[in-house]
Chain A
Amino acid sequence: MSSAGGTLIRQAVKEAKPVFSATSEDARRRVLNLYRAWFRQLPYIIREYDVPLTLPMCRRKLRENFEKYRQVNDIRVIDLLVAKGQMELVETAHMWKQKTHVMDYFKQTVTPKPTDFLGKFFDGKEP
């Protein structure tokens, strides 16, 4: 190609600045430690917020929230998710939240939006 042949296109390889962890091993360790911290805190959350939940329910919900991001591979995204999880944990552990915020994790009053054609049709939404 003549246009490309004229000028030497030097591709600058950009490297993204790491958020917290430099390697994926490091990020993995952070995720597992966050899981551990949440896991250990669960019985105290149930007791302190007097929330109508059982420990197995909470553990399942914790596992569900971690499984939601299972496919994420970008280290920076993982770091940000871990940071957000850590912030949630700190707020919950310090009792800065209230019972309603803890129950929000279980989304009991949210009706799921329809994904298939017929569901959307009945709802009146254009596909």
Chain B
Amino acid sequence: MLGICRTKASLTLQRLAKLNSFRALSSFTVVPKFALPSSNKHISTLSGISQHAIQRCSQWRCYASASSAGLSQDKITERVMTVIKLFEKISAEKLTIESHFMKELGLDSLDHVELLMAIEDEFGFEIPDQDAEKLNKPSDIIKYLCEKMEDRQYVCM
């Protein structure tokens, strides 16, 4: 019980550190391959403990290549589309890979922020503001995520 309290306290401190800056810090996490559960596991915001555990493992490098670890273009596409479909404000019929969030799906800028936060939670890293403004279609998001995955060779939970 004490352990859980401590991890929660450290997490709230991290959140408070972020509160003081107006820009979201981009933090990338590396996870060793053997600790990987199924790649479609959704990180909920309440599972603070698993996030803390991921960050502690950040000094371990992962030698898995992108395709073998399930980070291929199709897998990413699948995950992104699942996350977007789960978003209640989007009707699933109008949703395609090229549909513009603001113009075709009628989303707000605040809705857009919520959507990107859901994607950040799913993939486990933060998207900085300058990049977030340009991601207006699912295809943009998929392309951006592929680039980020290839650059860092991260394995996501």
Contact = CB atoms under 8 A, between A and B. Distances in A.
Interface in B15-29: 15-16, 18-19, 22-24
Contacts of B117: 36, 39-40
A94 B16 contact: yes
> Secondary structure of the B side of the interface?
helix
B129 interface: yes
A30 B24 CA distance: 10
> Secondary structure of the A side of the interface?
helix
B87 to A, nearest CB: 12
Interface residues of A, number: 22
Given A43-B46, A44-B12, A36 B19 contact: no
B45 A93 contact: no
B109 A40 contact: no
Interface in A32-80: 32-37, 39-41, 43-44, 47, 63, 66
Given A39-B117, A40-B117, A44-B12, A66 B110 contact: yes
29 contacts: A28-B109, A29-B129, A30-B22, A32-B109, A32-B110, A32-B113, A32-B129, A33-B24, A33-B129, A34-B22, A35-B110, A35-B113, A36-B24, A36-B113, A36-B117, A37-B18, A39-B113, A39-B117, A40-B15, A40-B117, A41-B15, A43-B45, A44-B12, A44-B15, A63-B110, A89-B19, A90-B16, A93-B19, A94-B16
Interface of A: 28-30, 32-37, 39-41, 43-44, 47, 63, 66, 86, 89-90, 93-94
